[in-house]
Amino acid sequence: MENTIEIRNVTKKFGDFTAVNDLTLNVPKGSIYGFIGPNGSGKTTTLRMLMNIIYQDTGEINIFGEKYNQTFKDRIGYLPEERGLYKSMKVKEILNFFGRLKNGKNINTEADKWLKKLDLYDWRDEKIETLSKGMGQKIQFIASVISNPELVILDEPFSGLDPVNRDAMKDAVLDLKKIGKTVIFSTHDMDIAEKMCDYVFMIYKGKKVLDGTLDSIKDIYGTDIIKIMSEGGAAVLNDVRNEVKGIENINDYGHVQEIRIEKTCDPQDVLRSLVSKTSVTKFEISKPSLHDIFVRIAKPVAEDGGEVKNVG
Amino acid sequence: MLDKIMTITAREYKATVKTKTFLVSMILVPVMMFAGIIIMKLFEDNVDTNDKNITIIDRSGVVAERLVAIAGERNKNEVYEKKDDGELKKVRPKYIFNIVEPDDSEPDKQRYELSEKVWKKHIFSFVEIGKNVLHPVVSADEGDFSSVIRYYAEGAALDDIRRWLGNPLNNEIRQMRMKEAGIDPAQVTELMRWVSVNGMGLYSVDPQTGEYIEARESSEGEAILAPMAMMMIMFILSILGAQPLLNSTMEEKSQKISEVILGSCSTFDFMMGKIMGGVGASLSAALVYVGGGVIALRYMGRSDLIPLELIPWFFAYATLLITMMGAIMAALGSTCSTAKEAQSLAFPGMIPMIVPMMIWFLIVREPLSNFSVITSLIPPLTPMLMLLRQSTPYHIPAWQPWTGLFGVILFTLFSVWASARIFRIGILSSGKAPKIGTIIKWVFRND
């Protein structure tokens, strides 16, 4: 499989702080790659190194099969995490500016296409300062893709958007994949990452702790989650926990409870104990969600930086 | 790379010149700079015409009566001017002298009492004529004022009356001395007639006809005003083109625009685009000022005052100065996140413009002195000071402007290089603005 990005043993330090530690990663062409990780884990630093905005201390980054050169910026669309636009410029002016900055072709046609797609066409002659935050974010997204780049890097593109705009942004990202673009985005929204990404990469304290397809990652963690709905709720589960050994964790969502069991624990023992105490309406054995996996790795007790689960 | 720089330049240029601040500054800054001169010119005839009562203590006993008579003549001839419609208009105050007897027993008491009258505005001032003014004696006693005239007033140093008194009093005293010596004053006037020394420029030869071109009379305008105007314009251009880069860079950083742009170009392209936008805005203003100046001088029939040979130097120095200052301002702006931080760095950034403003008069007075040569060859100061020297009537050796220009080009390249290194780190940094020492370390940091 052809890779759009190849990162080899890259390390970046800021003074004594290691932001990215010996990172190796391949991003296949035409895929959607999700970067996840807690705040300050090294996602943005990695993305900035990919954009050559900051330079790695050691290691190598190849993009489009070559070492980085400045002309690549024209082939990469970038939406940074911290983003803003010139408030006094009009929407079309600013899109034109970014399009020309990327040496884009057919800028006006592309601008109109994206403005229509994201329902902003009627605002094309308005100043940026008159737009809502969500509209501004969509304009920033258009600015990053207006030059029709081969690779699109989006740092937290969904943050701060309402559900309607989030769906619009999601559709736009999926449209990019449909036309063969490679998309990388970072997010704290595990639901989005789980539903949209072909591959997920998790970085924690500068180290890669997860990398691969969602299924392959989930396979590693096994089928250790049981979702339960019962009349007794969480209170009864505490009694079950005392009776059945191997229940690691109980997560109470109010109407639903999730328990995580050890490999040695038989789910049938849990069910038997439960029905002897209360009426059970749902008992579903499943793989952990990406959210569960994220929390397991990033919970405060994991001081060692977590275990690398590389299944890519 | 050039395309990207030009795209940023075009945006920066439009953003700068389209603002009301630029347009207003372009008009107001020079008006304010030259306001002092203009106001003085406009109001030079606007004087206090209230009559002035002056008391005379004449210890010599021979001058006061004559002074009263001379003041009377002045009041008759110089206080009123005839307007076009024939009406008389009072344009100066009358000087009304009142003689008092000297109190030789308690002179200090008399002086104090008269001073009190001045404070209470009963009189404007008083004059004390020493008893030996007719025949001054050289005294070893520093407190002996018997051979001088002393003028007492609240603002004696700048007082017009003090200046006026000198002539009639001395004329009168001289006439008295001549009379005593039996000399005819009319004859003396002829003998002592003053011959003035006119300040002239130098002769030159017309290269086409070979004819001598007569030297022109030097004027204060040429000697001081023209160089000052040149330097002021350079200062204004820096204010218009370079200084705004401090705030605009800070705003791009604080409004998170910078990283969006850095996704499309390098930090160097970004910074250079901004600087060139500033240079463009400054040069647009320069064209307006220079063009306006040329048209105004032609209209006034003073085309001879247009320093045509300096115009290429002016534009070369202006371009380099704005580039240099713009680079420094953009670099400093990249280290700031708030307007307050930017404000605190504005002063150190302006030093290359402030120093010439502080020493310009020394340079104009003696443009060929060692001090003038050395300071005008210090690269950050060269654009303003060398141009200042070149715009004086003196002939500056040709090697000096060329050496200065070479030095400025090198220093400008260094400024852009150093600023790009600061800009690259500063524009993505967050938190409190670094100290000057840290900023300098960034220039030489290996990463």
pLDDT tier for residue A307 given thresholds of 50, 70 and 90: very low
Write out the residue range of the structural domain in which residue A259 sits: 223-286
Assess whether A133 and A209 both reside in one domain.
yes
Determine the residue of chain B that is closest to A140 in CA distance: B260
Q: Which residues of A touch B256 (CB under 8 A)?
A: 80, 82-84
User: Do A190 and A257 reside in the same domain of the chain?
Assistant: no
**In chain A, how many domains are there?**
2
Q: Do A101 and B447 touch (CB under 8 A)?
A: no
| Residue A294 resides in a domain | no
Residue A300 has pLDDT above 70, yes or no: no
Are B263 and A86 an interchain contact pair (Cβ–Cβ within 8 Å)? no
pLDDT band at B291 (very low <50, low <70, confident <90, very high): confident
Look at residue A59 and tell me if it is in a domain: yes
Cβ neighbours around B36 below 10 Å, total: 9
Of the pLDDT bands very low, low, confident and very high (cuts 50, 70, 90), residue A305 is very low
- Residues 229-288, chain A: which have Cβ within 8 Å of B? none
Domain assignment present for residue A306? The answer is no
Least CA distance to A14: which residue of chain B?
B447
> Are A57 and A138 contained in the same domain?
yes
User: pLDDT > 90: what percent of chain B?
Assistant: 31
List of chain B residues whose C-beta atoms are within 8 Å of the C-beta of residue A77: 263
Is A80 domain-assigned? yes
Query: With an 8 Å Cβ cutoff, is A127 touching chain B?
Result: no
User: Which residue type does B310 have?
Assistant: L
Among A195, A218, A241, where does a domain finish?
A218
Mean local confidence (pLDDT), B371-387: 94
CA-wise closest residue to B282 among B25, B20, B5, B4: B25
Least confident piece of the model among A71-80, A298-307, B399-408: A298-307
Asked, for residue A307, whether it belongs to a domain, the answer is: no
Is A230 found in the same domain as A205?
A: no
Report the mean per-residue pLDDT for chain B: 86
- Contacts of residue A74, defined as CB under 8 A and 6 or more positions apart, other chains included, come to A102, A103, A104, A147, A149, B264
If phi > 0 it is left, if psi is from -120 to 50 it is alpha, else beta; for residue B210 that is left
Instruction: Say which amino acid occupies A242.
Output: N
- For domain B52-183, the CATH class is alpha beta
Q: What are phi and psi of A30, to 5 degrees?
A: 80, 5
> Would the CB atoms of A84 and B256 count as touching at under 8 Å?
yes
What residues have CB less than 8 Å from B150, skipping those under 6 apart?
B127, B128, B130
- C-beta neighbour count of A111 within 10 angstroms: 25
Q: Is residue A300 part of a domain?
A: no
Distance CA B99, CA B66 (A): 11
Q: Between B87 and B431, name the one with better pLDDT.
A: B87
Q: Which of the listed residues A172, A194, A218 is the one where a domain comes to its end?
A: A218
Provide the sign of the torsion angle of the four alpha carbons B40, B44, B48, B52, taken in this order.
Answer: positive
pLDDT band at B37 (very low <50, low <70, confident <90, very high): low
CA distances from B391 to B215, B253, B364, B401, B434 (A): 17, 41, 9, 12, 40
Measure CB to CB from residue B428 to each of A53, A77, A143 and give the nearest one.
Answer: A53
pLDDT band at A312 (very low <50, low <70, confident <90, very high): very low
pLDDT > 50? residue B263: yes
Cβ pairs bridging A and B (under 8 Å): 67
pLDDT tens, residue by residue, A106-165? 899 999 999 999 999 999 999 999 998 889 999 999 999 999 999 999 999 998 888 988
pLDDT tops 80 at residue B381: yes
Given the cut 0.90, state whether the ipTM is greater than it: no
Residue A229 β-bridge partners:
A282
Residue A308 lies in a domain: no
Q: What is the pLDDT of residue B155?
A: 87
Compute the distance between CA of residue B238 and CA of residue B250 in angstroms, rounded to an integer: 18
Residue after which a domain boundary falls, among A186, A218, A250: A218
Q: Say if residue A64 is in the same domain as residue A158.
A: yes
What is d(CA A38, CA A299) in angstroms, rounded to the nearest whole number? Answer: 10
Strand order in the sheet with A151-155: A76-79, A151-155, A182-186, A32-36, A199-204, A207-212, A309-310
Q: List Cα–Cα distances, B252 to A159, B90, B99, B324, in angstroms.
A: 21, 61, 74, 20
C-alpha distances (whole Å) from B179 to each of A259, B84, B182, B184 are 128, 43, 5, 7
Asked if residue A63 belongs to a domain, the reply is: yes
Residues A137 and A91 in one domain: yes
Asked if A86's CB is within 8 angstroms of B259's CB, the reply is: no
Which residues of chain A lie closer than 8 angstroms to B252, CB-CB? 84
Cα of B264 to nearest chain A Cα, Å: 5
SS3 assignment, position B193: coil
CA distance A293 to chain B (A): 32
- pLDDT tens digit string along A15-46? 889 999 999 999 999 999 999 988 889 999 99
**B363 or B202, which is more confident?**
B363
What whole-number distance in Å separates Cα of residue A261 and Cα of residue A251?
A: 12
Find residue B22's DSSP bridge partners. Answer: none
CA distances from B27 to B32, B295, B350 (A): 9, 17, 21
Q: What is the mean pLDDT of chain A?
A: 88
Determine which of B1, B259, B269, B447 to mutate to test the interface with A (most A C-beta atoms within 10 Å).
B259
Shared domain check, A137 and A275: no
What residue ranges do the domains of chain B occupy?
2-40+219-444, 52-183
| Separation in Å, CA of A88 to nearest CA in chain B | 9
**In the predicted model, is pLDDT for residue B125 greater than 90?**
yes
Nearest CA to CA, how far is A236 from chain B (Å)?
Answer: 50
Q: How does pLDDT run across B268-289, given as a tens digit for each residue?
A: 899 999 999 999 999 998 888 8
Confidence (pLDDT) at A271: 93
CA distance B222 to chain A (A): 45
Q: Do B263 and A144 touch (CB under 8 A)?
A: yes
Q: Which two tokens stand for residue B65?
A: 């009566």
Q: Which residues of A touch B425 (CB under 8 A)?
A: none
| Statement: residue B128 has pLDDT above 90 | yes
CB contact under 8 A, B262 and A53: yes
Closest to B348 measured CA to CA, from B331, B370, B371: B331
